[in-house]
Amino acid sequence: MDTKAKSDLLFADETYAIVGAALDVRNHLGAGFLEAVYQEALALECRTRGIPVKEQVELPIRYKDTVLVKRYLADFVAYEKIIVELKTVPELTSRETAQLLNYLKASGYRLGLIFNFGHPKRFEWKRFVV
């Protein structure tokens, strides 16, 4: 990716760092573990790399001008501005995409990442900006 294109992306450096940590986790563990294993490993890898993350973050959901009592529990919030969701499914589908997009809209965060550690042959990830 050229420097100009990278600089035009929202939170490009932060995204690059988080994806690198997730790739390292996938390369080391492979596929087949439960989501909780990848979550613990990714938290450790992020902290080792100096990436600020909070796990299982309760985020408010807004409906019009009202904050609902029901909260959304994000797998991670990185850099206090990026939602990170982990999956262990055979393949990412529109269901996971819709879920993260809804979380972004409802929480007010602008950037979200989905990492899928469940695909048997490759590491899948997607980046969404609202």
Distances (CA, A) of 21 to 15, 38, 62, 79: 10, 11, 31, 14
Structure tokens at 54: 């909070």
Range of the domain at 83: 3-129
Q: Which CATH number fits the domain that encloses residue 112? A: 3.40.1350
Structure tokens at 124: 């899948």
What are 3-23's pLDDT values in tens digits?
555 557 899 999 999 999 999
What are 43-101's pLDDT values in tens digits?
999 999 999 999 999 988 888 999 999 998 999 999 999 999 999 999 999 999 998 99
Q: How far apart are CA 30 and CA 73, in angstroms?
A: 26
Closest CA to 58 of 76, 37, 74: 74
Q: Where are the alpha helices (H) located in the chain, listed in sequence order?
A: 3-8, 12-29, 35-48, 94-107
The total number of structural domains that make up the chain = 1
